[in-house]
Chain A
Amino acid sequence: MLSKDACRAIVLLAVALAVSPAAAGQGRDYISIVGSSTVYPFATTVAEQFGKTTRFKTPKIESTGSGGGMKLFCAGLGIETPDITNASRRIKKSEYATCRKNGVREITEVKIGYDGIVLANSKEAPRMNLSKRDIFLALAARVPAPDGGEKLVANPYRTWKEVDPALPDTRIEVLGPPPTSGTRDAFVELAMQGGCSTFAWIKTLKKTDKARFKGICHTIREDGAYIEAGENDNLIVQKLEANPRALGIFGFSFLDQNGDRIQGSLVDGEAPTFENIASGSYPVSRPLFFYIKDAHVGVIPGMREYVAEFTSDRAWGEDGYLADKGLIPMSAGERQRYAADAAALKPLILDDAGN
């Protein structure tokens, strides 16, 4: 039972708590980073290293997704907004415009390396050898009619063998990320669109009717052959183990960690290995970026040093600790160029930001 004094103390404390924030929130002595969940494992590794080897505090990194990160990043200047955002795709023109409108005039783009997107299945099943065309035909909602005409039909393919006689006679069953995921965006853009561009008449649409082209190439079937398995890639790996007939779509680092249980399918004859992704011969890989809010450099302590750590060879180099975590490094020339641009805080120009 509470005594009167105790009651009074609690009320006082509660009031103090409610009032205290007015004093808090002035200045921030750590870097605030938001953005892509794909870049998160790499950025956190750098942040931890940075926190341990320098006198600065360890940056705080939120995993908000590329789009969510851009929204926060471009909300304006000031300590309550993030200093850096990670992205698994380039900044969009619209996002760049929002940034400028809100006073975030100078941002520096740093490309950090590549991420391969793999299609993998359980070791118990034979390894698949797919072409991008196979992937498109197996997963698109509507595909060109099998008789070769220039019209679309609802995807009739049930088994891989129907797609391509060389493939095994198993049901098409693909576990992949939901539409909110950056991995899904990249997969659709690289694998599906690549496959659908192999049809000449669809390819010409790209110039004449871009919306229709995107509608054909980017729409994934919803009749149960493609199963949205959530954002958690570990879950997909587990499900693949339990179901050897299924294929899963996820980032290279998960294949890298689970090489004893699952195998990556060949795409256009190329295996998803570290070397093949780095050399660019594996076709389904995308660049990863982070963006620096230049106005915060010098205001928030440690930003220059964090960028230097990230762009050092011991981090993003071929033998760096990020390669250990599954990041595919850029070529030495590209690394040098981006490191120099980052150190000089070269601002991104609007026309640069295509797509």
Chain B
Amino acid sequence: MKKHGAMPGKEKVTAMDVVQKGLARRYRRERWFRRMGLAAVLASIGFLGLLFVSIIGNGWSAFTQAEVLLDIDFAAAQFDVDNLARANYGALVKKSLQKLFPGVKDRRQKRKLYRLVSSGAAFILQKMVMQDTSLIGTSRRIWLPADDEVDMLLKGYISRSVPESQRRLTDRQIGWIDRLIADGRLKKRFNTTFFTAGDSREPELAGIRGAVAGSLLTMLVTLLLSFPVGVATAVYLEEFAPRNRWTDLIEVNINNLAAVPSIVFGLLGLAFFLGVLGLPRSSPLVGGLVLTLMTLPTIIIASRASLKSVPPSIREAALGIGASKMQVIVHHVLPLAMPGMMTGTIIGMAQALGETAPLLMIGMVAFIVDVPTGLTDPATVLPVQIYLWADAPERAFVERTAAAIMVLLAFLICMNGLAVYLRRKFERRW
């Protein structure tokens, strides 16, 4: 490409020529740069997709659960009106199974037959009768949870083709199961237990409600403590504090704390909250306090950044019309900085929600069946529940572990989504 200069016949290299010459190369480079960026994004999405596929692939089956339809005869003779808890509810289940399979006489075989129904079935019947005494004397058809082995067979996790000695269900038991399926008495149904029950050692009775309640209580404490303290710290450091060696020291420390491994906060919690203050072990209160320490630096840093982004003209204008320093901050700066602060808080909370390491030290890694109702009740949290289930030998816990991870991911996505929404909705650009 030539540019015609003033002097014909002689070529003169102008700056434009240099630019034109390099243009193709520069475009090529830019294309490559963009492609690399895109490839990085695609790779991360790929990994994320892999994670999701493996977790959802493992976990979706936990949302159904094998249940058996049994005719339970609440014969009046068995119940003592004064002491309903004393009645033999297990016998009700056994009797109805016997009616279905009258051919099973041998004691060992009978035990094998009874084992098809969850050991929790008796407690479910007990609860039903305690709640509604009018059941006594009637006969009802009730869906009761099947044993986890039956559940695994129905879901195809136990292979029928391996020799009998190598599986936990005998050929005879599988025969009974097939009969129940043929009669429409054994089906996979939606697993409500998973959402309404606390932890259990029986996979078919285990649920995440206790862990979710524990997580919510812990998060409540964390939020109520870390948000006001974090915001107040940020406001003081940003708006009031003089710039000197002390505030520099504080700033360095805050940034440092944000990077400290979380287990350290657990050790601190063990030494101080449990050791010195004598707060109850395994309680959401202590868990929340420890997680507060962990999230505070995140919140302070995010809050300071968002205070900094409020233009000085706002402050000056308010001061100019006679507002006091406090009025400037409370009426103008804080409302404008709030979306950023809330985003930082939510991200800090999401981080805290997924934390297990510090909770190990303060006794929240524990088997807790009762759903916690107060801040001092023993409790565990969702990620700890996942950790505990991952370690259980029963195969049915594998899918429940994955399902619990799905629930945790759903919570995290909601929280991070809320953070994005708040930012979009309230963010102001100057």
Contacts and interface: CB of A to CB of B under 8 A. Distances in A.
Nearest to B126: A52
Interface string A306-331: 00000000000001010001100000
A256 B376 contact: no
A13 B280 CA distance: 20
Contact of A48 (B165, B200, B281, B366): B200
B228 to A, nearest CB: 5
Contact of A60 (B167, B375, B378, B391): B378
A268 B375 CA distance: 54
A325 B201 contact: yes
Interface in B160-175: 162, 165-168
B285 interface: yes
Q: Which of A58, A232, A253 has the most CB of B within 10 A?
A: A58
A327 to B, nearest CB: 11
Interface string A237-262: 00000000000000101101111100
Interface string B267-292: 00000001001111111010000000
B369 interface: yes
Contact of A40 (B278, B367, B376): B367
Nearest to A47: B367
B278 A25 contact: yes
Interface string B347-386: 0000000000000000101111110000110100000000
B119 interface: yes
Given A57-B370, A62-B365, A233-B393, A21 B376 contact: yes
A326 B393 contact: yes
Interface string A159-176: 000000000000000000
Interface in B176-217: 200-202
A234 B227 contact: no
B314 to A, nearest CB: 15
A60 B366 CA distance: 7
Contacts, number: 122
A41 B367 CA distance: 10
A347 interface: no
A2 B231 CA distance: 12
B398 interface: yes
B338 A24 contact: no
A257 B157 CA distance: 12
A196 interface: no
Interface in A186-207: none
A2 B201 contact: no
Contacts of A61: 366-367
B335 A80 contact: no
Contact of A80 (B166, B227, B281): B281
Contacts of B129: none
Interface in A7-45: 7, 10-11, 13-14, 17-18, 20-21, 24-25, 28, 30, 32, 37, 40-41, 43-45
B280 A80 contact: yes
Given A2-B338, A4-B330, 15 more contacts: A7-B228, A14-B229, A17-B221, A17-B285, A24-B375, A25-B278, A37-B391, A41-B201, A41-B392, A60-B368, A63-B366, A232-B390, A234-B393, A251-B393, A260-B162
- What 4 A-B pairs have minimum CB-CB distances, sorted nearest first? A58-B369, A61-B367, A24-B376, A62-B366
